[in-house]
Structures are given as C-alpha cells and as structure tokens.
Amino acid sequence: MWHFLFATGIENSYPTIDGGRVRQDQMESCGHYEQWRTDFELLDEIGTNVLRYGPPIHRTWLGPGRYDWEFSDLTFGELRRRGIIPIVDLCHFGVPDWIGNFQNPDFPLLFAGYARDFAQRFPWVQLYTPVNEMYICAMFSGRHGWWNEQGTTDRTFVTALKHVTAANVLAMDAILEVRPDALFIQSESSEYFHAEEPQAVRRTEIYNAERFLTLDLNYARPVNSTMYQYLLSNGMTEQEYQFFMNTRLKHHCILGNDYYWTNEHRVPVQGGHSPAGEVFGYYEITRQYYDRYKLPVMHTETNFPEGYSGDEAVNWLFKEWSNVVSVRNSGVPMVGFTWYSLHDQTDWNDLLRTKRGSVHAVGLYDLDRNIRPAGRAYKRIIEQWRNVLPMQSVCLQLPIVEPGEYDEPWAVRRREAMRGIRQHRSEAPLA
C-alpha cells in the first residue's frame, strides 16, 4: 500500500467499574452489536478502508484456550470481504471476568496465548494494537481508582503498568510467530505536564518522565535513574526490568500517539493535576515523542464534542490535521491520521466512571448513524489530500498487505522472508 492511512475506529472500551460489578461495554451501549453491518458500510461514505477495531475480549475469551468466536467470525469476515484494513485492538481497557483485573500476574502470559490464537484464526490480519493506551489503562485502573482494580497507590499503578506492558510485548512476539510481517501501531496517549509555579517544577518533571514509562519499556529504552528507582520501589523486580530491556521488537512498530484537549495538564504546588487545554498542541508533543523513539508516527486518536454552535469538532479536526501536515513537513515520517471514533460514544464525558448512557457527541456519525459536520469535514480532507500526501519517499514505504492480497505469491514470499529474518535475529546475541 502506498497511500497515507486515513482511519477511524469503532470504540470498544470495556473496563469494569463499581468494584468490578458493572462493565462499561461501548460496543453494547453504542449499538454496534446490532448495527455492525451498517457501521462498516459507513466507511465507504467517508472514503476510508482503514479501521481501528477489535473483538470484545470479555465476550470472546472464555478461559485459557477457550473462545466464542461467533461475533468475530462474522465481523472480521465482513471486513475482509469489503477490503477493510483493520488495526486490531486486542485489549482495550479491560479483561474478562475470569482474569480479574490488571493486578493479576498471570495476565501477560495468558494474553499472549489469546493474541496467538487470534492471529491463527485470522492470519490475514497484519496490523495490531495489542494493548490500547497502556499508560492510560494503568493510570485509570491502578492510580486514579476509576476502573477495574480501582487501585489508588503507586504500587498498584506500577503493577498494572508492568503487566499491561509485558502483555503488549509478549503479544507482539506471539503474533509474529504466526504473522512474521505483522506491524504494531502503539496507540498511546501523548501527554505533557506544565508547572503552575516554581515550587511545582520538581513534581512536574517526575510526571513528564513517568509519561514515557510504558513506551520506554515496550521499546527497550532505559529509563532514567529516578524512574528506575520508582519502579523498583513499587514492585518491579530487576529481573522484570531486564525482561523489557532485552526485547527486540521495536523494528516492527509504529509510534501511534493520541492527542485530546485533555492531554496537557496543569500541576499546582499542592499536588495532583488538572486539564490545561491545548498549550503546546500536537506538533510540539509529537516532536518530543519522535525525538525520543525515532519511529514512524501515526496520529491514532483524536476527537472533540460537536458543541452548541455545531462547529467545535470541525474546528478541532482542522487544527489536528494542520498539525499532522506540519509534523510531516518538519521531517517526521507520518503514516496516518485517525478521527476516533466512527460514531458517538457514551459516558466518556465522565471518563466511563459512571454508567448513565450519556451521549458523548464526538463521532463522525451520531448513534442513529447520521453523518455529523465532522464526518463531512473528514470526508473532504480524505478526498482532497489522499492523492497528494504519500506516506513514503521513493526509498521508504510502509509494507502493508491488504486483506485481498494475503494469498498473493509476492505476499507469501514476503512473509517467508520475514520469518527467516526473525529466526536469524532470535539466534543473534544481544548487542
């Protein structure tokens, strides 16, 4: 594939709240279980065939090696028939009831088995986000006390963080055993913290180091001494840390980053933080992440409520798209952009902390599947830019195999070549 990846997504968050007694299933509350065929048809209207999507883990994964694939077989069969390229979310803020929550030390290895079995069932799938927004998942579940285990300490945060990141690493490795040319797009929240006054600078520096932890571990980048001591003081062992430092999967990855108006924070001297709004913006923060990891970048999530005047979401889309073009023009290899999600969501105006069915009007379509102004604006962007914004030079291209090309001889040869390269790297000593 040679063109820039214009994408959207179908929101499939499913954390538990209220001590694990209530599940926030966005596919259920937004009507996707009944209207999935219509949802896929809407992609044609928008003009894209790239979709962030994943099976509902709590309905699919019934136990170790036990699955109910009925819904996945239907939906992924239709995606393949339509030639839609899925970027597959395998874990989106929650786990099945039988796992418990992200404090469970068995989760990473068990999840790797789930990822391998999914890849074997749908071998034509190439693009994955094994664990969505690892940092946010660990923060909201393990520190803020909102989801799943509802932890509120540094130890529960570090435990969740190391488990979701290990799960992501092990899942990537498991998928590569099946699909050696798989590509992994880390949809990770891009954050920045601003000190309100000089006395808050030290705490702000810690937050700004902490925001990189999941990606540092995922990409085997050594953390600084403060973060290393923090991790080891709150439950991570030296052996666990070395596991992350010994992984060699970065070359299969794309740095997917998410940016919302809530991603920048004000840090007061008395502690905590609050939304700062758009201070630096996507351009500056993305440059920080790119300079750190030196990977191709895809803007994997953004949205904004339509609002009372009806043009707030359109204006935000214009700003985010302008930032993407500017980042690309500055020399960063930008490979894609995503408005998330295809249709409105529910209860995200309260960060899924309560289950009220409150509509969050951030979709390209409303929940009746009527197009919103942001949908029409995104359609125009795709029409105007898709043929003038290639994602590679003549020397660099993203090696995507479209669903209909999976069995082509050249695609088979590529997979075998990648399998040989993977075997060679696994036998080579660590640098």
Q: Which residue segments constitute the domains of the chain, with CATH numbers given? A: 5-427 (3.20.20.80)
pLDDT at position 339:
98
Tokens of 223: 């953390």
At 171, phi and psi to the nearest 5?
A: -65, -40
Tens digit of each residue's pLDDT, the chain (431 residues): 557 899 999 999 999 999 999 999 999 999 999 999 999 999 999 999 999 999 999 999 999 999 999 999 999 999 999 999 999 999 999 999 999 999 999 999 999 999 999 999 999 999 999 999 999 999 999 999 999 999 999 999 999 999 999 999 999 999 999 999 999 999 999 999 999 999 999 999 999 999 999 999 999 999 999 999 999 999 999 999 999 999 999 999 999 999 999 999 999 999 899 999 999 999 999 999 999 999 999 999 999 999 888 899 999 999 999 999 999 999 999 999 999 999 999 999 999 999 999 999 999 999 999 999 999 999 999 999 988 876 555 556 788 999 999 999 999 999 999 999 888 776 655 44
Using an 8 Å Cβ cutoff, are 190 and 257 in contact?
yes
Q: Distance between CA atoms of 400 and 285, rounded to whole angstroms?
A: 27
Q: What are the DSSP calls for 220-241, one per residue?
A: TPPPPHHHHHHHHHTT--HHHH
Q: Distance between CA atoms of 183 and 175, rounded to whole angstroms?
A: 10
pLDDT at position 431:
41
pLDDT at position 422:
83
- N-to-C CA span, the chain: 33
Q: Which residue has the tokens 């919302």?
A: 260
Q: Distance between CA atoms of 399 and 420, rounded to whole angstroms?
A: 17
Instruction: Output the CA angle 105-108-113, nearest 5 degrees.
Output: 130
Neighbouring CB atoms inside 10 A of 201's CB total 13
Determine the number of helices (DSSP H) and then strands (DSSP E) in the chain: 15, 18
Q: Which residue has the tokens 């009007």?
A: 361
3-state secondary structure of 426: helix
184 closest CA partner among 171, 200, 201: 171
Half-sphere exposure of 163 (CA within 13 A, CB side): 28
Pairing of strands 183-185, 253-258: parallel
pLDDT at position 2:
54
As a dihedral over the C-alpha atoms of residue 233, residue 237, residue 243, residue 244, rounded to 10 degrees, the angle is -10
Long-range contacts made by residues 407-414, C-beta under 8 angstroms, separation at least 24?
414/181
pLDDT at position 430:
47
